Amino acid sequence: SASVGLYLQQRRREALLRRLPPRPIEIRRDEVVKGVMGLIGNTPLMRIESLSEATGCNILGKCEFLNPGGSVKDRVALKMIEDAEAQGMLHPNTESRIFEGTVGSTGISLATVARARGYETTIIMPDDVSAEKRQTLLCLSARVEQVRPASIVDQKQFVNLARQRALSFGRTKLPQKSLLDAMATPTPPGEDIVVASQVSTEDALHEAGARLALEESPRGFFADQFENLSNHDAHYLGTGPEIWRQTNGNVDAFVSGAGTGGTIAGTGQFLKEQKPEVVVALADPEGSGLYNKIKFGVMYDPREKEGSKRRHQVDTVVEGIGINRLTKNFELGLPIIDTAYRVTDPEAVAMSRHLVKHDGLFLGSSSACNLVACVRLAHRLGRGHTIVTILCDSGNRHYSKFWNDEYLRNANIPIDLSIVDDLIAGR
């Protein structure tokens, strides 16, 4: 049975690599689903009435806030864990520990899926993310470590720390080295740590998975959402096909922000493959380098003054999107992203309040950011087009910052709904 398992593992990996047409995904909401994982994905697509009426376009939001872990990241957590299991990096019910560096949502999704499959999680995040995310993680029995925000080159940066913690977890410490090196020497049982991003070839990953599958000891797994392409695949195989089916192919544009880049790259790629005319647009908060990358080909605005603070620091009330480096997941999206919109904090805040006032929609900051970009794009495309975006999470993840009027006042961010009127009027 071990060899059958390995054979199936290999077929699965090959299928993914050849990018076979994704398996059809059925909505089975009228059936009893199996546990929490049965609730992930297959989210509804909702027409946002106020913005659609005002712009003359169909502005449709994919309701990712309805996932059981409360965000779009549930899909990614499930796919990263499933792929790690298929590759022998995790064994269900072994109390292995999953490590991740995250601003919160991915941690909550990982903790949710992990518990449903018998794993523990350790989440490392910056100490300036909203308190309710930490609270939720603790309720989900995750171990939480918060660190000062730091640059990605700093060893104490949250993603780097998560990688280090994964590497030093287990019965024996294994010095960090490439998986290929590790494979050259026989490994005593219980010593393996696998870091997806360190693997240089798919073959090596498969080989290593096959070898590790024979061992059942607890180990640390660094989920690595930024570089792990299971993230992209979750959207390429899930979000993209769902949108295609839900719109019967009548989709003219797809708008998304990028934190890891998985959503825009995976969904955008799938839609573009079905219909090359689909416009894929990035919604990027102030301070992020991705807008510049799309517009100018470099992560900074070459017209800005040398040494501008904005070059190195994402300093915004919008959480979860905007980044100043190129991740492997975002890189996959580079060939298919057509354009980018810069969204300011006041615009995102105004949009979120507008949506409550006119639509009864209580959304998080990245969803609001996406919808600002949708209105801009609607003006560019003209009436009658269908624009799809992602409603990543609900406002209840954002009580202490984005939805806290006092916080916004202290940060000098106005709450001014006329900003949305101006956007809609194309001013």
Residues that bind ligand PMP (CB under 6 A): 71, 73, 103, 105, 257-263, 320-321, 364, 366, 392-393
Cβ 367 to ligand PMP shortest distance, Å: 7
Q: Which is nearer to ligand PMP, 193 or 281 (CB)?
A: 281
Q: How far apart are CA 69 and CA 115, in angstroms?
A: 12
The number of angstroms, rounded, from the C-alpha of 350 to the middle of its chain's C-alpha atoms is 24
State which residue, 82 or 100, has the beta carbon closest to ligand PMP.
100
Shortest approach of ligand PMP to residue 89 CB, angstroms? 21
C-alpha atoms less than 13 angstroms from C-alpha of 373 in its C-beta half-sphere: 33
Q: How far is the CB of 168 from ligand PMP (least distance, A)?
A: 25
Give me the residues paired with residue 194 across strands.
221
Q: State which residue, 371 or 392, has the beta carbon closest to ligand PMP.
A: 392
Residues 6 and 19 sit within 8 Å (Cβ to Cβ): no
DSSP structural state of residue 360: -
Least separation in angstroms between CB 101 and ligand PMP? 11
Q: Tell me how far CA of residue 182 lies from CA of 6, 216, 274, in angstroms.
A: 20, 18, 41
Rg (CA), the chain: 21
Query: 54 is written with which tokens?
Result: 């005002």
Strand partners, 61: 46, 389
Least Å from the CB of residue 23 to ligand PMP: 21
Question: Residue 45 or 183: which CB sits closer to ligand PMP?
Answer: 45
Tell me the C-alpha distance between 220 and 114, whole Å. Answer: 13
> Could you tell me the smallest distance in angstroms from the CB atom of residue 123 to ligand PMP?
13
Q: Six-digit token pair at 383?
A: 């009436």
When the beta carbons of 96 and 292 are compared against ligand PMP, the nearer one is 292
**Cβ nearer to ligand PMP, comparing 69 with 170:** 69
Would you state the structure tokens that stand for residue 116, as one six-digit string?
């449903």
Distance CA 336, CA 271 (A): 10
